[in-house]
């Protein structure tokens, strides 16, 4: 992938801290100096992830579970390991439309307000894995056995992702990770 593009790359592991450590440390070493964004660093594995980023010149995606104080604490712990905060992307975790969107929106809003009032520990860019959450919702996955009022499944599913992504951008997200090409086009247009 590095040879095929000059664009910045974000690399996610399988989503289990132990496996993320194994996979992403190897990725960090193989792509030393390329300045990838690697994730997910959470409370349980941030030390390994940050060390891999420090040693190989990458950024870390720091995920906390929809809580302002936990996100700030994780950022502090990462900073204490001497990784510059300009190499941290915050992932405050998101909920999809109908599945916690309002709560995650308010957490993101509070993170942005804290940053604007001078809290240096939450002034990092925010990244949200919208596609992962939106396509987990039953309204996006289910095509049969649903009320006719739900409408066309393909339209409904992409609407779910677009509405979630648009909301996250309005709440202050800098990057939204999407899954469906139609959603990407619609968010770019937005």
Q: Mean pLDDT per 10-residue run, the chain (190 residues)?
A: 91 91 96 95 95 97 95 98 97 92 95 96 96 92 88 93 96 96 96
Taking the complete model, does pTM exceed 0.95, yes or no?
no
What pLDDT does 48 receive?
A: 96
What pLDDT does 144 receive?
A: 86
Please report, for the chain, how many H helices and E strands are present, in that order.
8, 6
All residues at 6 or more sequence positions from 189 whose CB lies less than 8 Å from its CB, including other chains = none
């Amino acid at each position: 992938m590095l040879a095929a593009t000059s664009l910045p790359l974000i690399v996610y592991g399988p989503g289990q801290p132990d496996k993320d450590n194994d996979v992403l440390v190897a990725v960090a070493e193989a792509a030393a100096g390329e300045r990838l964004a690697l994730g997910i660093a959470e409370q349980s594995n941030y030390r390994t992830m940050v060390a891999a980023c420090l040693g190989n010149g990458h950024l870390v995606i720091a995920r906390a579970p929809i809580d302002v104080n936990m996100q700030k604490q994780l950022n502090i712990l990462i900073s204490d390991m001497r990784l510059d905060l300009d190499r941290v992307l915050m992932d405050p975790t998101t909920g999809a439309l109908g599945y916690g969107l309002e709560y995650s929106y308010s957490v993101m809003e509070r993170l942005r307000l804290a940053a604007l009032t001078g809290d240096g520990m939450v002034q990092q860019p925010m990244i949200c894995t919208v596609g992962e959450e939106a396509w987990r919702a039953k309204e996006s996955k289910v095509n049969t056995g649903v009320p006719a009022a739900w409408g066309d499944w393909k339209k409904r599913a992409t609407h779910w992702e677009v509405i979630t992504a648009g909301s996250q951008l309005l709440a202050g997200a800098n990057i939204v990770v999407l899954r469906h090409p139609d959603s990407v086009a619609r968010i770019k247009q937005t």
